[in-house]
Structure 1
Amino acid sequence: MRVLVTGAAGSIGRVVTVGLADRGHEVVALDLVPPPEGYQGAWHTADCADRDAVAAVFGAEQLDAVVHLAGVPGEEDLPTEITSHVITTAALLDAMVAHGVGRIVYASSNHAVGRTPRAGLDDGLLTTDVRPRPDTFYGTAKVAAEGLLSLYADRYAVDAVACRIGSFLEEPQVRRNLATWLSHDDCVRMVEASLTAPAPGFHVLYGISRNTRAWWDLEPGRAIGYDPQDDAEAWADRLPDRPEDDVENSVVGGPFPGESFYRPAL
C-alpha cells in the first residue's frame, strides 16, 4: 500500500513512517520541514492547511491511503487549533475525493473526551459511544475533525478511522500513563490495522496499549484487527507517587481539564 503520512517529522510520524516501511508499505512523507538528513523515501515539504499544496502532492503521487498525523500537539487559541486539525483534515479529504483515495487514518486524541469523569464509568472503561467532552480547544478541534471524517464517510463512502491516542511515549513517565500509554510498536500496529481493515466506514478507537490498568475500551480497536501487545504495568514499580496523581487520574484528560489550560478562545 502506498501511504501518505502527514506530520512525518513529528514524534509519532517518525515512528510510523519507519514502522510502515518495515511492514512492506511504501511511504510518501509530508511535513512543514524538509526531510531529515539521509532520508531516502519520497518527501514533500508543504502545509496541510494549504489546499493547493495538498492537491499538488496528490497530483504528483499515486496514493492508496492517508495517515494524518500533522497538527499542533498541544493547546493554542481556537483559530490555531481549528486550522491545524480541521482545515488540514478538510484539505486532505477534498484531495482524496478528487483523486479517488478511499482510506484515511486520523490521529485524534483522548482529549476529545477529556472532561469525562472516570467515576461511574461502566465496568471502569470508557467506550467510544459516549458524547464528546473536550477538555481544551485542542480537544474541541479533534471533535470537529472527527465530525468531518464522519461527514465524508457518509457523503463520499470514504473509510475513516479516528484513533483517539492516549500517551504516546517510549515508556510510561507518570502513574496516569499506566492506563493511557501507547507504545511505539503498538502505535504502528494500530495504524496498520486501521489501514488494512476491510471497509471500516467511519470508526473510532482508543489508541492505547494492552494496559492492565486501562481506562478505555480496547474492543473497538480489536474489531478492526488492532491487537496491542505491550503493557505499561511493567513500569508500575518504577513510577513515584506524586501529589497531582489523584487529580490527573480523576478525569480522562489528565491535567488538560485543569485551570492552567484555561484561556480565551480568540
Structure 2
Amino acid sequence: MGAETIVITGASGGVATLLRPRVRRADREIRLLDLHAPARPPEVGETFVERSVADLDGLVEDFAGARAVIHLGGKSREASAADVIEHNIRGTYNVLEAARRAGVDRVVLASSNHAVGFHDRADIPAGGLPADVPARPDTLYGWSKVSIESAGRLFADRFGMNVICLRIGVWFSSPADVRGLALWMSPDDGGRLIEACLSTPDPGYRLVWGVSRNTRGWYSLAEGEAIGYHPQDDSEVYAEELIARFGPLDEDDPELRRVGGNWCSIPLGEPN
C-alpha cells in the first residue's frame, strides 16, 4: 500500500507548527494548506499548497486522495462578526463540503473551550465538565466554534462522515498563566489526540476535550479515552512557577468562576 495522505489546514499557524513533527511518519504524506508559507519549511513527507479555505473548488482538488483532513484554519481570537462568519463559519463549511466532494470521510475540526465559556466552574461535576455539555459561547469567536460543531454534526448525520470536534483548551508549549493550568494541552498530548482521531474506527460524530491530564483540570477525559486518547502530561510541573508569578486563582473573581474566564467580558467583536 502507498503512503496515506493527511491534509492540515491553517498549516502555518502555531498549533499546526507544534503538530507537524508529531504526525509525520514514513508511511504518511502531509499536505500543508495555508495562505502563507510556514516559517518552518516543508520537510520530507510534507508538501505545502498555498490555499485559502474560501476557495471551495481549490480545496476539493487539494483533498483528492486524502484519508483525513485536520482543519486548524480560521480566526483564533475574538474578531468582528464579519470575520468570524467568513473565516470560521464559511471556511469550515467549505472544508466539510470539499471533503464530501473529494470522498474524504474523516474530518477533525478545531473547536474551543470558548464554545462553552459561560458555564460556571461551580457546576462542574466530579468527573469534569463533559465534552458534549450544551454550548454557551462567550464571544463571537466562541459562537463561530459552536457553529462549526453543528456543521460537523450535519455532515456526519446527512452524509455518514466521521467528524471529531476538539474543544481545545490551550494548545501551547506551556501554560501562560494560572488559569492555563486547568486548560493546557501539551504538544505531545496534542499529537496523541490527533493520532487517536485518525486511528479510532468509525467514530461517527464526536465532541472531545483537547486537554492534558492536568491535576487542576476542569474537563472530562472520558470522551477522549473512548476514542483511544490517553494524555500523559500534566500542567502541574508549571504550577509552582506560575503561582509565584501571578498568585493563586482568585475563586471570588466572577470572571474566573466561568470556564471562559475574562473572555466572558471582553468587548464583543473587538480583536483581543
Tell me whether the two structures share a fold, i.e. TM-score over 0.5: yes
Q: Who is 1:3 aligned against? A: 6
Does structure 2 conserve the Cα–Cα contact (< 8 Å) formed by 1:211 and 1:230? yes
After superposition, give the CA deviation of every residue in 1:37-77 in whole Å (9 maximum; x if it has no partner). Answer: 6423211101112212212323xx42110000011110001
Does structure 2 conserve the Cα–Cα contact (< 8 Å) formed by 1:118 and 1:124? no
Distance 2:68 2:7 in 1: 6
Find out whether 1:255 has 2:262 as its counterpart.
yes
SS in 2 for 1:256: helix
Q: Who is 2:115 aligned against? A: 112
SS in 1 for 2:109: strand
The farther-off stretch of 237-246 and 18-27 is 237-246
Q: CA RMSD in A?
A: 1.8
Amino acid at match of 1:34: A
Alignment of 1:46-85 (within 5 A): 46-58=51-63, 61-85=64-88
Distance 2:247 2:118 in 1: 21
TM-score (norm: length of structure 2)? 0.90
Find out whether 1:187 has 2:190 as its counterpart.
yes
Count of residues in correspondence between the two structures: 261
Find out whether 1:202 has 2:208 as its counterpart.
no
The farther-off stretch of 136-145 and 83-92 is 83-92
SS in 2 for 1:5: strand
Find out whether 1:241 has 2:253 as its counterpart.
no
Q: 5+ residue gaps in structure 1?
A: none
- Cα distance change, pair 23–228 in 1 and its aligned pair in 2 (3 A): farther
After superposition, give the CA deviation of every residue in 1:68-98 in whole Å (9 maximum; x if it has no partner). Answer: 0011110001121122112111111111111
Q: Who is 1:100 aligned against? A: 103
Q: 5+ residue gaps in structure 2?
A: none
SS in 1 for 2:263: coil
Does structure 1 conserve the Cα–Cα contact (< 8 Å) formed by 2:140 and 2:269? no
Does structure 2 conserve the Cα–Cα contact (< 8 Å) formed by 1:163 and 1:205? yes
Does structure 2 conserve the Cα–Cα contact (< 8 Å) formed by 1:5 and 1:67? yes
Moved over 6 A (4+): none
